[in-house]
Amino acid sequence: MRKHIFNAGPCKLADPCLENTAKAVLELNNSGQSILEVSHRSKDFQAVMDEAVSLFREVLSIPDNYHVLFMGGGASTQFAMIPMNFLKTKAAYVNTGTWSKKAIDEAKLFGNVEVIASSQDKNYTYYPKGFKIPSDVDYLHITSNNTIRGTEIFEDLNAPVPLIADMSSDILSRPVDVSKYAMIYGGAQKNMGPAGVTFVIIRNDMIEKIADRVVPTMLRYSTHVEGESMYNTPPCVNIFAVKETLKWVKAMGGVKAMEKLAKERAEMLYAEIERNPLFRPTVEEGSRSRMNIPFIWAEGKEDLQEKFLDFAKVRNIVGLKGHRSVGGFRASTYNACTIDDVKALVKCMQDFEKEV
Ligand SMILES: *Cc1c(COP(=O)(O)O)cnc(C)c1O
């Protein structure tokens, strides 16, 4: 039986994505070969890549003056590639938690970093708003959704400098005005596909802005633009699954429909967290992510931790254990998480309240 999956990443994927990818693993089209075996230079795979890119462009309304790339290395490699390619003297970063901090640490290897806003003062329980963006930096980097702390910015900022966003965990969960960004990137495994492939949306003019320093071939954005994501062997099966996810998002009504469902799921779960005397939320209202919802015990109830996780497990609910830095619980309600999944969790919380 399929479980109610609330894993933070890799995430739950839509059934048609799993079914079609499983079929392609056995045989891609009528090629007599698996997607795992077929040459990435073959017509069959080129068609997969082309469809993934064009669906991404369509679903997210990516303007023509942007390149769409799929590569390996995860979002974590992007943390280093961004400053390596674009940090000449100084870059601005917003610090909203673990992933931002990792990005900041990599940037410091290549130049000066100005942290222009941070929510560290309140343990990253809110998203800083209204901060002033300097105009003398090479770029501004933000993390649009903080997977671990559960805060999210729902706004596409107006920045006087190239704006770069790590959208690993909220991509495809709402319409985005891509034209406000110089670059958007992320690991696919939070909302767009399986682990092992990284998406990069990068404005054409950024390629001319690559720093005049030694950058290894694989870590230069121009390499992947010129190679059309095939400079080296791409993660073929992962890209296939991304294509299937995009097909599913489109069939479901696109990112607008995804946003509506995301709001519905988050509101339903937050309402129960607020109502249930056993639990409480950790994130301030107005900053609450629709994708990652952390919650902790009401005071004095902490001893129930293991009992509740076991209680959820027998109800086929998995992936609730909070990140080790926050404790408690985190329900990740990505695109493929259904209203029924959330209803099952809410019911579980209510039944547990009656039981203890
Ligand atoms: C998971 C995550 C990362 C790290 O992604 P990898 O692909 O594992 O390197 C970076 N940023 C955010 C916001 C994430 O959620």
Supply the angle between the helices 236-251 and 15-26 in degrees, to the nearest 10: 140
| CATH code for the domain of 299 | 3.90.1150.10
What single letter denotes the amino acid at residue 313? K
Ligand 1 site, CB within 6 A: 9, 74-76, 99, 143, 147, 166, 168-169, 187, 190
Domain of 248, CATH number, reads: 3.40.640.10
Q: Are residues 98 and 112 in the same domain?
A: yes
Q: Rounded mean pLDDT of 240-257?
A: 98
Residue 99 annotated as catalytic: yes
Note whether 165 and 257 are same-domain residues.
Answer: no
- Specify the ligand 1 atom closest to the Cα of 169: 15
Residue 94's φ and ψ, nearest 5 degrees, are -105, 130
Catalytic residue among 12, 190, 243, 247: 190
269 and 213 housed in the same domain: no
Spacing, Cα 133 to ligand 1 middle (Å): 24
With respect to residue 5, please indicate whether it lies within any of the assigned structural domains.
no
Q: pTM value?
A: 0.98
- Domain identity same for 175 and 131: yes
Q: Catalytic residue among 138, 166, 170, 341, which? A: 166
What average pLDDT does the segment 239-255 reach? 98
Q: Give percent above pLDDT 90 in the chain.
A: 98
Q: How far is the CA of 290 from the centre of ligand 1 (A)?
A: 17
Query: Which residue segment(s) compose the domain that 78 sits in?
Result: 15-252
Q: Are residues 339 and 194 in the same domain?
A: no
Q: For position 327, what pLDDT does the model report?
A: 87
3 inside domain: no
In terms of domains, do 235 and 278 share one? no
Give the mutation target among 166, 168, 198 for probing the ligand 1 site: most ligand atoms within 8 A of CB: 168
Backbone angles phi, psi at 68, to 5 degrees: -115, 120
Last residue of one domain, picked from the residues 220, 252, 284: 252
Q: How far is the CA of 162 from the centre of ligand 1 (A)?
A: 21
Structural domain count of the chain: 2
Buried b / exposed e over 114-145, threshold 16 CB at 10 Å, is: eebbbbeeeebbbbbeeeebeeebbbbbbbbb
In a domain, 109, yes or no: yes
1 in a structural domain: no
Q: Please state the rounded mean pLDDT for residues 178-196.
A: 98
Q: Identify the band that residue 254 occupies on the pLDDT scale cut at 50, 70 and 90.
A: very high
Any catalytic annotation for residue 190?
yes
User: 235 and 211, same structural domain?
Assistant: yes
Same domain, 313 and 175: no
Average pLDDT of span 28-43? 96
Q: Are 193 and 245 in contact (CB under 8 A)?
A: yes
pLDDT of residue 113: 98
